[in-house]
Structure 1
Amino acid sequence: MRIVDFHCDVLCKLLLDDKLTFHGGKPGTLDVTYERLKSAGVALQTFAVYIPASMNGRLEPILESLDRFHQSVLSCEDMRWVRTSADLESCLNDGKIGALLSLEGVDGLQGNLSLLRIMHQLGIRAAGLTWNHANWAADGAMEARGAGLTAKGRAFVEECNHLGILVDVSHLSERAFWDVAELSTKPIIASHSNSRSVCDHPRNLTDEQIKRIIAMRGLIGITYVPWFVSKEENVTVDDILIHIERICELGGAEQVMLGSDFDGIDRYVTELTHPAEVWRLREAVLRRYSASVADRLMSGNALRFLSRHLPQQ
């Protein structure tokens, strides 16, 4: 059973520490490594371009992150860059590991749609407008003001729709979420968010938000961030299943995918600390669901969605 993971922060760690290595490095320095992706049977991994606050607001760190992607990730023998549905099909047929690029926060684009178009040319295929704060495009989930999209943010969403860049709502304020949902003519994704009715955290999605993504035939990436999974101190894979079950109860069995947030966290679900341990989640899912449903949850939904919504060539 293949695995698709729609969010990790490897590129940020590589940006901040050029001594880290994605392939052949010491265990424990990165959660997601080439060896662990191969061991886990990962079909596709999305690599987020996230720029920390100390470097944010400039284009250069984004470009440097893309360079790390090419030098560290794509240099591995069985990694394949996925930009189109044809790339994805070829990758799956050849048994390689797909690598997709996303942008987590658009501060560095400075409201310039020309830079967004250049990002598309450089392979960005999903974009979240902001992180937890406010920027020129929108307010984030942790911004006390809770405002929605700016005029430039609305233009950004429209241009993403035109280019074929998936709009990621995971970090948006509720008002910004609904602005995107009303404006977007394409399905939206929440790359790494859980159910707020299960765990009450501002980064999780309300039932109404989940139902809207389902109605738009988008995707929701179940994340392993412990404080998004449960308020308990000891969080297990069984706690993650409760989020999957809630989304399925709302009619979203075909909208669930995985969005680990590996390398973006410093605390973990018990025995789920890197891709080679995701088999524990897979086994837990198989105890609750049929093999065909489990396959959709672990990879099938995401692969079908990408085949439909990535550019064809």
Structure 2
Amino acid sequence: MSGRKYTLPSFNALAAFEAVARLQGFARAAEELNTSQPAISRHIRNLEIRFGTLLFDRNSSPVRLTGKGQQFYAGMVQGLDVLQDTVRDLARSGNLVTLVCSHSVSHLLLMPRHGQLRKALGPEADLRLLTAEYNLTRSAIDTGADIVFEYAQVPPSEAHVVVCEEEIKPVGTPEVIDQAKGALNGACAPPPLLELSKDNYGWMNWRDWQRAHPGFGGWQVGEQFDSYVYLLEAAAAGAGLGLGWRSFADPYLSRGSLVEMPVSWHSRNTRLYAKLTRFGRSNPAAQRCLGLLEAAFPAGRD
């Protein structure tokens, strides 16, 4: 072991790269890491010079990883997660349960129930949420995650619970909804549509809604967002008509910051599942957590 030598980039550079890749923006990465955007850009440029390849496509909006960047990101995230787990294991005396999910699932579905889940698991268990872009969640599983959240039309073969059904309808402020109803009657122009700018990997979008509801055909997208959380916030601020995914939009609807179009929910029979990974099958705390998730997200609705 005395002869082992590592020639790795600085941790600051790796942290900058990970934040830009995950948040899809240099400014957001700088804000999260409490530094300046030029400092983030300098770290990324130094990495690109070192490796002799571009890691990001800066001409896209939002910023996206190149092929080489995706390869580096997948490997680096696994390494950082293993290191983080090792550090936590030094100080942790109980059982760790790691949940892997997208940012939207974490922010809108899990965080409101995080305290409830931790209390029910008991003081001997440590609950961790690991967020990743949906297409990278499988890579994150390899770091030792116990439960993963995935969309599917067919139930998984692993032990699982249904978190929510895929059901959508337009949502907006009362003023925007009134404008949308007027547009359907031909009394005014339709409000702008708020849309996700990235691939949502099978979850329904405005084109799916318009195919099922021709009256909305021709309505134009006014603004795009790289996060569904940001989209809902913009809809609640009156920026336009958002597409509400049931359960995800429920907190906004219950507070009254968003209201529904007076139409039925639309579904393609896709569900969001929480399922045990190969690590979770051998973790009793993860199996208990799966049961708690079933109680926290009753699948049946009136």
Settle same-fold status: TM greater than 0.5. Answer: no
Rg comparison, structure with higher value? 2
* Higher share of residues assigned strand: 2
Given the two structures, how large is their TM-score scaled by the length of structure 2?
0.30
Given the two structures, how large is their TM-score scaled by the length of structure 1?
0.30
